[in-house]
Amino acid sequence: MRMYDLIEKKKQGRSLTGQELDWMIAGFTEGAIPDYQMAAFLMAVCFQGMSEQETTAMTLAMARSGGQALHRRRGGQDHPDRCADGRRLRHPHR
């Protein structure tokens, strides 16, 4: 898969698959896809838009790309001071 091909596909108004969006977000967050290519993709999105499926897939790919906080439940055993991967969260308001 190449970022150039995904940019062209979006410029033509075609929808990207969840797999393509996962690959793109993973590549961008790992530094394999340069800023200027992501900017070109986002410009194509500005002109062509995204389907609801694309928006959902891209949102989920972005959510999976970083740490995820656990939320406290009443009486639950979750630890809200830790990410799902075990890293400690910083609380700016404490």
Per-residue pLDDT of the chain (94 residues; tens, 9 = 90+): 899 999 999 999 999 999 999 999 999 999 999 999 999 999 999 999 999 999 999 999 998 887 666 655 555 555 556 665 666 666 554 4
Give 18's DSSP letter.
Answer: H
Whole-number Å distance between alpha carbons of 31 and 50: 24
Whole-number Å distance between alpha carbons of 60 and 21: 10
Q: What is the pTM of this model?
A: 0.69
Whole-number Å distance between alpha carbons of 94 and 91: 6
